[in-house]
C-alpha cells in the first residue's frame, strides 16, 4: 500500500505538489503532530476554530448556562448515543433554551463510516451560521472534541468553503489540538479527491 507511487508511475508525487488531490493519511498526520511525531491533547474545553464555529467536548455541551454565555445558538453533537463513548443529549435536552440541536450517532473507530454524515452536518453548520442574518454560533462537539467533531468541521470547510483537505485540517489544528482517527482521515482524503475531481476546490 505504501508504495502506491510505484503502482501508478504517472501520478504526481504528492510530496512535490502539496495541492495535488492525491493526499495520504500520513501527510495529514504530519499536520496533526509536532516535530517529534506526538499528538497533543486539547488544552481547553473548546476553541473557536473558524469564525462562529466552536469545537469542544461534552462537558461544555451539557452546561447550558455556559453555552448561553458564549452566545451559542446551535449544537451539533457528533457523538449522539447513550454508551460511554457517546454523549446522551437530544433536542429535548435543550428544550426551552432557544438552542437548535442536531445529532449524528458517530463512533470514534477507524472502521466507522462518518462520511455518511458529512453533507447533513455541513448543511446544519451552514444554516447555523446564517441564523439571524449571520449572527448564529454553532458548537460542534463529541466526547472530547478531538476526533469526531473536528472531522465534521473539516468536511464542512471542504464542502461549503471549497477548502482542500490540507487547508481545512491545518486551519482547525491551528486553533485546537485534534487527532481524527486514520479511518476518518482516509474518508476526508476521499472527499478531497471527489471534490477535486468535480472542480469544487479552490486550492487545486
Residues forming the active site: 142
User: What three-state secondary structure class fits 161?
Assistant: helix
User: Helix, strand, coil proportions of the chain in percent (round to 5)?
Assistant: 45, 10, 45
Across-strand partners of 46? 56
User: 152 CB contacts (<8 Å, ≥6 apart)?
Assistant: 76, 78, 104, 106, 114, 117, 118, 121, 122, 125, 140
DSSP H or E segment with residue 165 = helix 165-175
Provide DSSP, 105-144. Answer: ----STT--GGGGHHHHHHHHHHHHHHHHHT--EEEE-SS
Amino acid at each position: 500500500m505504501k508504495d502506491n507511487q510505484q503502482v501508478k508511475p504517472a501520478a504526481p508525487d504528492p510530496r512535490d505538489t502539496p495541492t495535488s488531490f492525491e493526499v495520504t493519511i500520513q501527510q495529514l498526520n504530519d499536520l496533526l503532530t509536532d516535530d517529534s511525531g506526538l499528538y497533543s491533547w486539547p488544552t481547553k474545553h473548546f476553541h473557536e476554530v473558524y469564525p462562529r464555529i466552536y469545537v469542544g467536548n461534552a462537558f461544555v455541551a451539557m452546561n447550558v448556562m455556559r453555552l448561553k454565555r458564549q452566545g451559542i445558538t446551535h449544537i451539533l453533537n457528533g457523538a449522539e448515543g447513550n454508551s460511554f463513548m457517546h454523549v446522551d443529549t437530544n433536542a429535548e435536552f435543550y428544550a426551552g433554551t432557544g438552542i437548535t440541536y442536531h445529532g449524528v450517532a458517530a463512533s470514534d473507530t477507524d472502521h466507522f463510516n462518518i462520511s455518511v454524515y458529512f453533507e447533513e452536518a455541513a448543511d446544519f453548520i451552514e444554516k447555523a451560521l446564517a441564523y439571524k442574518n449571520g449572527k448564529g454560533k454553532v458548537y460542534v462537539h463529541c466526547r472530547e472534541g478531538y476526533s469526531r467533531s473536528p472531522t465534521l468541521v473539516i468536511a464542512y470547510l471542504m464542502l461549503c468553503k471549497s477548502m482542500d483537505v490540507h487547508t481545512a485540517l491545518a486551519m482547525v489544528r491551528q486553533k485546537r489540538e485534534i487527532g481524527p482517527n486514520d479511518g476518518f482521515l482516509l474518508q476526508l482524503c476521499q472527499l478531497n479527491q471527489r471534490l477535486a475531481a468535480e472542480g469544487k476546490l479552490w486550492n487545486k
